[in-house]
Amino acid sequence: MSADAQFLSPYTPRAELIEMFDGDSEFVDSLAAQFTAQCLTALHDIHEALNAGDVAGVSRAAHALKGSVGYFDPGTGHAMVEAIERIPSAEVERLPALVRALELRIDRLRRHLCAEFWPSGGFHSHH
C-alpha cells in the first residue's frame, strides 16, 4: 500500500449497501451494474467539457456522476467529484490533475465493484 493509499477511504461493501436499501439486493446489484456501465460516459463528458474549456460543462458532468459515486465511494471518490464540480474559477488550472486523479479512483472502483458484485466474471460491460 502506498503512503497516499492509507488516507483513501474504503468503498461501501455490498452487504452495507443492501442494508442501506432495506435488503433489496436486486436493486443494489442493478445500481452497481448501471454505475459500472455509465461512469465511463460521465468521465467522457467531463473530458469533453475540459478539452473545450467549458468549466460549467465540467461542473455539470461532475454533478451527474456525484450521486452514484456517493453510494459506492462516499468518502474519497465523492470528495473528488465534488472538488471538480465546485472548483473556484481561480483554481481552474488544477482541473486536469483533479480529473486524472478521479479517473484513477473510478477505475479502481469499477474493478472493485466487478470483483465484489460479479466475482465469477458475470458482468462484462466495459471492464
**What would be the CATH architecture of the domain defined by 24-117?**
Up-down Bundle (1.20)
Q: What are phi and psi of 43, to 5 degrees?
A: -65, -40
Q: Sign (positive/negative) of CA torsion 110, 40, 22, 25?
A: negative
pLDDT tens profile 41-59: 999 999 999 999 999 999 9
* Residue 123 pLDDT: 56
Q: What is the pLDDT of residues 22-34, one digit of tens each?
A: 999 999 999 999 9
pTM, two decimals, is: 0.85
Residue 63 pLDDT grade (very low, low, confident, very high; cuts 50, 70, 90): very high
* Residue spans per domain, the chain: 24-117
Q: Apex CA 15: angle with CA 12 and CA 20, to 5°?
A: 75
Q: What is the pLDDT of residues 3-19, one digit of tens each?
A: 444 456 789 999 999 99
How far does CA 64 lie from the centroid of its chain?
Answer: 10
pLDDT 10s digits, 72-120: 999 999 999 999 999 998 899 999 999 999 999 999 999 999 999 988 8
Distance CA 3, CA 106 (A): 19
Question: Longest Cα pair distance anywhere in the chain, in angstroms?
Answer: 47
The predicted pLDDT at position 31 comes to 95
Q: Which residue has the cell 478521479?
A: 102
Task: Enter the C-alpha cell of residue 66.
Answer: 456525484
Structure letter (DSSP) for residue 9: P
